[in-house]
Amino acid sequence: MSSPSYDADVLIVGAGPAGVAAAVMAASLKLRTVVIEAGLTGGKLHVVGALDNMPGNWSTGPDLAQALAQDLQRLQGSGWCTLMQARAVAVSGHDDRAELTLDDGQVLTGQAIVVATGVAALTPAEADWVTAPDDLAAPPLWRAAPDSLAGRTYVLGADRPLGTWLRAHPETSKTLHVLCPPTDEYKATEVAADDRVRMVPVSHVTITRPAYGGGWTVEAKDQDGERKVYAVTTVLNNLGNRPAALEGLTQGEDGYCPTDRQHPRIRIAGDLRSARYQRIVTAQGSGAEAVLAYYYGVALREANGVAK
């Protein structure tokens, strides 16, 4: 049987830190790549207002995103990489190829696929510990300017952007009341010393419109079942994320996609791997490693004529 003709050696889905690191590593190994990106190169970096855990003296996400976009431009100029603006919907692995289906029905074929689609923001309707009306206006915490937060502000969830927001706005003395379910407790320790945060441990939260006046009524049930009711001006969404998995990937119980559970031609990089380890540096490392794993595994074996 003849080998299929491939659109690329490696198809990379997502041009966040993980996907761009994968493309850079692939080009260094002289592998042809197509990077498929539905939004902006840099992914979540565009919303990281303040950075303090990146080697290289990067202090904001958008600056780093711009540098990654330049990396992709350079790779495109060298002929090793093509950036395609498109949304992927499904992957499949086969003995001799991996296939990626786009939302317009087009199918791309590669020797391997690196899926680095990251995570998508959870809405209140998707969080099982929140009951809220459909028209609840809960803008994301990361985008909230301190000056826009009038009155009592409650934050749904203690996900990591809380720490980033506090670092990004050292000048504000605004108090954030953070409704924290048991699943977020391990994240809350990061901000425990900041006296602008009031943690409210909860097992369930019900948000309703008050009979009179504006704002919201928040009923918080704590872990012993005791209920407290608060009149709240602003509710912000900091619920965290759900993995942006593509059809055809094997997901664990939590929805994340461990690489060792996928077809050998399909690798996972970045935030999509696991709820833990969601950092820019680890995303970059895993993107580069996904390509190396393919290179030392499938690519060299096939180049030497060993079983497909």
Ligand X SMILES: Cc1cc2nc3c(=O)[nH]c(=O)nc-3n(C[C@H](O)[C@H](O)[C@H](O)COP(=O)(O)OP(=O)(O)OC[C@H]3O[C@@H](n4cnc5c(N)ncnc54)[C@H](O)[C@@H]3O)c2cc1C
Write out the residues near ligand X by the rule CB under 6 A: 13-19, 36-39, 43-45, 47-48, 51, 53, 87-88, 116-118, 142, 160-161, 164, 244, 270-271, 278-280, 283
| Nearest CB to ligand X, comparing residues 21 and 220 | 21
Residues 6+ apart with CB under 8 A from 129: 181, 202, 203, 204, 205
Please report, for residues 5, 37, 63, 268, 287, the alpha-carbon distance to residue 243 in angstroms, rounded to integers and kept in the order given. 31, 16, 25, 12, 16
Residue 245 DSSP label: P
| Nearest CB to ligand X, comparing residues 110 and 161 | 161
Minimum separation from the CB atom of position 168 to ligand X (A): 9
| Nearest CB to ligand X, comparing residues 207 and 283 | 283
Q: Mutual orientation of helices 17-28 and 280-294 as an angle, nearest 10°?
A: 40
Give the SS3 label for residue 29: coil
Minimum separation from the CB atom of position 23 to ligand X (A): 11
Residues 6+ apart with CB under 8 A from 297: 264
User: Number of helices (H) and strands (E), helices first, in the chain?
Assistant: 6, 17
* Cβ contact 91:249 at 8 Å: yes
| Nearest CB to ligand X, comparing residues 124 and 161 | 161
Minimum separation from the CB atom of position 286 to ligand X (A): 8
Task: Say how far apart CA 306 and CA 308 lie, in whole Å.
Answer: 6
Minimum separation from the CB atom of position 50 to ligand X (A): 7
| Nearest CB to ligand X, comparing residues 130 and 144 | 144
Unique residue bearing structure tokens 């504000």: 172
| Nearest CB to ligand X, comparing residues 36 and 232 | 36
Minimum separation from the CB atom of position 278 to ligand X (A): 4
Q: Which two tokens stand for residue 41?
A: 């190169």
Q: Which two tokens stand for residue 104?
A: 């317009």
Residue 122 DSSP label: P
Minimum separation from the CB atom of position 162 to ligand X (A): 9
Task: Say how far apart CA 293 and CA 285 lie, in whole Å.
Answer: 12
Torsion of Cα atoms, 46 then 72 then 283 then 144, to 10°:
0
Task: Say how far apart CA 118 and CA 134 lie, in whole Å.
Answer: 26
Minimum separation from the CB atom of position 80 to ligand X (A): 19
| Nearest CB to ligand X, comparing residues 14 and 110 | 14
Residue 44 DSSP label: G
| Nearest CB to ligand X, comparing residues 86 and 215 | 86
Minimum separation from the CB atom of position 120 to ligand X (A): 7
Angle 23-244-236 from CA coordinates, rounded to 5°: 115
